[in-house]
Amino acid sequence: MKLIILDRDGVINEDSDAFVKSVAEWHPLPGSIEAIARLSKAGWTVAVATNQSGLARGYFTAQTLEAMHQRLRELVAAQGGHVDLIRHCPHGPDDGCDCRKPLSGLFRQIAEHYAVTLDGVPTVGDSLRDLQAGAAVGCQPYLVRTGKGRATEGKSLPAGTRVFDDLAAVASYLLET
Ligand SMILES: O=P(O)(O)OC[C@@H](O)[C@H]1O[C@@H](OP(=O)(O)O)[C@@H](O)[C@@H](O)[C@@H]1O
Ligand SMILES: [Mg+2]
Ligand SMILES: [Zn+2]
């Protein structure tokens, strides 16, 4: 299967240092919805792996998070595409979970859901931890310069990380190869 694993904040939608706390604060990045639709219409299975420590911090509820994800799904569906799976880490930095990126628990959940290995599966992130979490389980990391990506680009990236301006550019690259 052609599987791609996307980070959410800073890749699909605008990120905020104050967290994205509501549907009203959830703004798709230019071209991101269309990119997801293009990929899914071309046979890619689109999954999302996102840290959401705002839940543990009490910034928003699980219901609000689900409303954001329903909005995402609706916008992609309106372009003829489909977001197949969204897995989030609800924990805070001190909770000792195994699913908060850069740990790879969300990626293992996704691999188990589809009963696949993740070797070479593209994963797109804006933070170093996104890339590290995926690379640790064999994914091909893609960094985008949106969200925190420009700051991340100057850091020591996982070997073989490919860098693109945004998700739309990653989608175009994957759809041409
Ligand atoms: O980029 P993804 O994984 O989709 O989501 C990131 C968000 O959960 C938030 O993660 C926080 O990191 P801490 O959780 O405070 O370390 C901060 O970076 C926020 O700016 C950001 O909105
Ligand atoms: Mg992010
Ligand atoms: Zn977690």
Q: In CATH, what number does 2-176 get?
A: 3.40.50.1000
Q: How much is the ipTM here?
A: 0.97
Distance CA 102, CA 51 (A): 9
b/e code 142-151 from CB counts within 10 Å (16+ = b): bbbbbbbbee
> Hey, what are 127's tokens?
């933070």
At 3 the three-state DSSP class reads strand
Ligand 3 midpoint to CA 17 (Å)? 19
Q: Cα dihedral sign for 1, 3, 90, 104?
A: positive
∠67-73-77 over CA atoms, to 5°? Answer: 145
Instruction: With cut-offs at 50, 70 and 90, classify the pLDDT of residue 86.
Output: very high
Q: Going by CA atoms, what residue is nearest to atom 15 of ligand 1?
A: 53
pLDDT, one tens digit per residue, over 41-63 is 999 999 999 999 999 999 999 99
Q: Which of 132, 113, 145 is nearest to 45 (CA)?
A: 113
User: For the chain, how are helix, strand and coil distributed in percent, rounded to 5?
Assistant: 35, 20, 45
Please compute the mean of the pLDDT values over residues 67-79 and round it to a whole number.
98
All structural domains of the chain with their residue ranges = 2-176
Question: What pLDDT, on a 0 to 100 scale, did the predictor assign at position 177?
Answer: 61
Is residue 166 a known part of a binding site? Answer: no
The answer on whether 139 is annotated among ligand-binding residues is no
Tokens of 3: 């599987």
Q: Is 10 in the pocket of ligand 1 (CB under 6 A)?
A: yes
Give the residue, by CA position, lying nearest to ligand 1 atom 21.
Answer: 19
Q: Could you report how far apart the first and last alpha carbons of the chain are, in Å? A: 16
68 Cβ inside 6 Å of ligand 1: no
Annotated active-site positions, please?
A: 7, 9
Output the furthest CA–CA distance in the chain (Å, rounded).
Answer: 43
Cβ < 5 A residues, ion ligand 3: 89, 91, 97, 99-100
d(CA 163, CA 170): 9
Q: What is the DSSP letter of 153?
A: T
% the chain with pLDDT above 90: 99
Whether 132 contacts 114, CB under 8 Å: no
- Consult the annotation and say whether 9 binds a ligand: yes
| Ligand showing the shortest atom-to-Cα distance for residue 48 | 1
34 lines ligand 1 (CB under 6 A): no
